[in-house]
């Protein structure tokens, strides 16, 4: 089977990326320098010898980005979708990414089997779909005899909370750095997860919790969250980011040492950027209200002009001006 491809550049790293089909909605979105926040994160924090796990690898874009930074390390690309795996394998071969190993399995909070709903890049474990094997992160690492796991990227369309809870001891034993998607919509719809519970658990469980936010100068900032700021997560997720936020958590802050000197500045910039977005949205709402008020006043004026009383008054004024004595 022939798969379409695009030659793409991500901040200097070039890849040939194949997709499911030319009209596949995810493939159509692929363009140069997408995912800038993730690329810059990897540049700062993924070290050359890291052992990485890409949970929900899809066609392998982020696996390839990780592999380009962990050149002497390993990336385990984990993907459950039977129709996606051949494209993932093709992308790994095409880009000669010898440090990527592919595991055809779903990750969850138990071992056995699960049903997987295939929806291109948005497939998820659900109540129906094709039957696939399922395992846990600790069980997979044991099976592969991984010496350690340094970095975990996770995007599993809502199942992140059960996986993180099940893998907490494993994450802490490895001092792992975890980068995952927080999506309140997929949590509720796909996995019956309560986003508020997830946000509060995250903040109470990890010593360092960050939201990855867009920055106008360098493409990404880490916005550190305090223990009681679960509302900020939900507010940003629901009202400012279309339900998609990338989060970073760890109990091993030394993994982030390269940014320690800039952490305060970066968090400050992220907060300012967030406030600017809020101010912009408020200004848009105020402008819309003013325009609506203006349109209502225009409508009232038009109605008055078309009324009988307006015409009579205007006629009397015209007669008055006609008979007014000249100076």
Per residue in 205-227, pLDDT tens?
999 999 998 765 555 689 999 99
Q: Please, which pLDDT band fits residue 309 given cuts at 50, 70 and 90? A: low
Quote the CA–CA distance of 182 and 233 in Å, as a whole number: 9
**Section 176-197 average pLDDT:** 97
Residue bearing the bigger pLDDT, 277 or 237? 237
pTM: 0.80
Say what the pLDDT of residue 191 is.
95
Say what the pLDDT of residue 275 is.
57
8 A C-beta contact, residue 123 and residue 106: no
Say what the pLDDT of residue 50 is.
98
**Section 103-128 average pLDDT:** 96
Q: What percent of the chain has pLDDT over 90?
A: 74
Range in 9-18, 110-119, 279-288 with the lowest mean pLDDT: 279-288
Q: Please, which pLDDT band fits residue 289 given cuts at 50, 70 and 90? A: confident
Per residue in 68-105, pLDDT tens?
999 999 999 999 999 999 999 999 999 999 999 999 99
Instruction: Give, in order, the Cα–Cα distances in Å from 4 to each of 16, 22, 57, 116, 159.
Output: 10, 6, 18, 24, 30
Q: Is the pLDDT of residue 47 over 90?
A: yes
Quote the CA–CA distance of 18 and 7 in Å, as a whole number: 9
Quote the CA–CA distance of 72 and 41 in Å, as a whole number: 18
5-263: CATH class: alpha beta
Q: Is the pLDDT of residue 280 over 60?
A: no
Q: Is the pLDDT of residue 295 over 50?
A: yes
**Section 128-153 average pLDDT:** 97
């Amino acid at each position: 089977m022939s798969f379409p491809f695009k030659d793409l550049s991500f901040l200097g790293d070039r890849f040939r990326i194949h997709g499911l089909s030319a009209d596949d909605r995810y493939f159509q979105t692929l363009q140069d320098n997408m995912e800038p926040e993730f690329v810059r994160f990897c540049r700062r924090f993924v070290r050359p010898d890291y052992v990485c796990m890409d949970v929900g690898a899809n066609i392998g874009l982020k696996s390839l980005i990780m592999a380009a930074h962990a050149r002497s390390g390993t990336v385990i690309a984990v993907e459950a979708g039977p129709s996606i795996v051949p494209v993932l394998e093709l992308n790994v071969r095409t880009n000669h990414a010898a440090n990527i190993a592919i595991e055809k399995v779903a990750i969850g909070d138990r071992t056995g089997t699960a049903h997987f709903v295939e929806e291109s890049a948005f497939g998820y474990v659900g109540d129906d779909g094709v039957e696939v094997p399922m395992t846990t992160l600790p069980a997979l690492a044991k099976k592969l005899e991984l010496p350690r796991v340094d970095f975990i990227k996770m995007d599993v369309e809502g199942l992140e909370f059960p996986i993180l809870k099940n893998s907490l001891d494993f994450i802490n034993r490895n001092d792992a750095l975890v980068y995952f998607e927080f999506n309140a919509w997929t949590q509720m719809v796909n996995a019956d997860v309560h986003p508020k519970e997830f946000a509060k658990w995250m903040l109470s469980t990890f010593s360092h919790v960050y939201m990855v936010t867009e920055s106008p100068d360098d493409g990404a900032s880490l916005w550190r969250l305090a223990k009681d700021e679960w509302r900020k997560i939900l507010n940003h997720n629901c009202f400012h980011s279309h339900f998609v936020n990338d989060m970073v958590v760890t109990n091993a802050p030394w993994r982030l040492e390269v940014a320690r000197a800039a952490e305060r500045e970066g968090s400050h910039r992220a907060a300012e950027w967030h406030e600017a977005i809020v101010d912009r949205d408020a200004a848009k709402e105020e402008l819309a209200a003013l325009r609506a008020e203006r349109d209502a006043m225009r409508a009232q004026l038009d109605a008055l002009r078309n009324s009988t009383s307006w015409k009579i008054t205007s006629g009397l004024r015209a007669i008055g001006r006609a008979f007014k004595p000249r100076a």
